[in-house]
Amino acid sequence: MSEKKFKSIFAKEFNDLAEIKRAMGFKYETVYASFLRIDKFFTEQNLTEKKLTKETVDLWCRKRSYETKANQCTRISNLRVFCNYLNDIGIETFIPPNGLHSHPPKYDAHIYSDDELKAFFKAVDQSNSVLSECPYRAMIMPVFFRILYTSGMRVSELRLCKVKDVNLEDRYIRVTNAKNQKERLVPIHESLIERCREIKDKIHQNSDDEEYFFLIRPGTPMTLQNVYRNFRRYLEKAGISHTGKGPRVHDFRHTYCINILRKFTDEGKDLLVYLPYMKTILGHESFAETSYYLKLTANRFPYIKEQLEKSFPDIISEVETDEKEFY
């Protein structure tokens, strides 16, 4: 727990709500940090009475000169959650209305074509190691990006996996740092088992089980910056245009999901049976998260839309994702 404490007149309410959210499975440090910012603002406003007026709320919601619109929307959303809680426990408060500031348009996922994937992995396979900076790059990068594509794992889930998490006998990676804090087992594609074994034999002969599996150099785990820098380099070598918004590394996860849904559909499999499997592999907390890929698949591949509509008519017909704020 952070050493910093809530100091405003709403300190007890912030603590109570943070505990409620932690009990619901939210990451405590993230919740605490977001509430701490609001608490600091309340302290600076010298609030002496347990109520929130429209003037105070509007002042918090005002856009800062240094922040993006997305950050502003997040701040407003965090305050709205707290205000709803205060209202529910009987404390007078003005609640920021929904739609006060619209979220920026969602990124349109890039689904890699077969030709793009071939070109990208050809570029990755031509990686050169630099002994003084990244002696393992030629061995690590081809495996790292192939696992991302063939497993649907999130970048940091794979980046932060440790030697003890990679089980080559049973062919799975244990994800312990998932977005929702729930562990899961993700299969390793059979074509990558020997490559993973090579990493283990050549890099981790004397490694502790707690050592990160994907290293830049001895004792140094791969960073997000390292992943993105190499990713952009491979895109350029592969001749894949990057607009500044995408493609992104995360689009390997989107592509995996789309391709597996296409495979299930083309093979005539019952999606009602296979969707729970997909939900588990992706580490989704709810079916609503997985349904995003149903809609994305239906939009990208009209020829399978009919079959998807038979199994999930309510989901496919929806245009907007229902984004709710919970406390």
Structural domain boundaries of the chain? Answer: 11-88, 114-238, 251-317
What is the torsional sign of CA 227, 213, 196, 293? negative
Measured in degrees and rounded to the nearest 5, phi and psi for residue 217 equal: -150, 170
| CATH class, range 114-238 | mainly alpha
Using a cut of 0.75, tell me whether the model's pTM lies above it: no
Residue 110 clears pLDDT 90, i.e. is over it = no
What pLDDT does 316 receive?
A: 47
What is the mean pLDDT of the segment spanning 172-185? Answer: 84
What pLDDT does 1 receive?
A: 41
Cα–Cα nearest to 291, from 275, 274, 310: 275
What pLDDT does 317 receive?
A: 47
Q: What is the pLDDT of residues 45-93, one digit of tens each?
A: 999 999 999 999 999 998 887 777 778 888 898 899 999 999 889 998 9
Angle between helices 69-88 and 11-23 (to 10 degrees): 100
Residue 171 clears pLDDT 70, i.e. is over it = yes
Residue 102 clears pLDDT 60, i.e. is over it = no
Residue 180 clears pLDDT 70, i.e. is over it = no
More confident residue, 80 or 31: 80
Residue 326 clears pLDDT 80, i.e. is over it = no
More confident residue, 4 or 155: 155
Average confidence score pLDDT of the chain: 84
What pLDDT does 73 receive?
A: 86
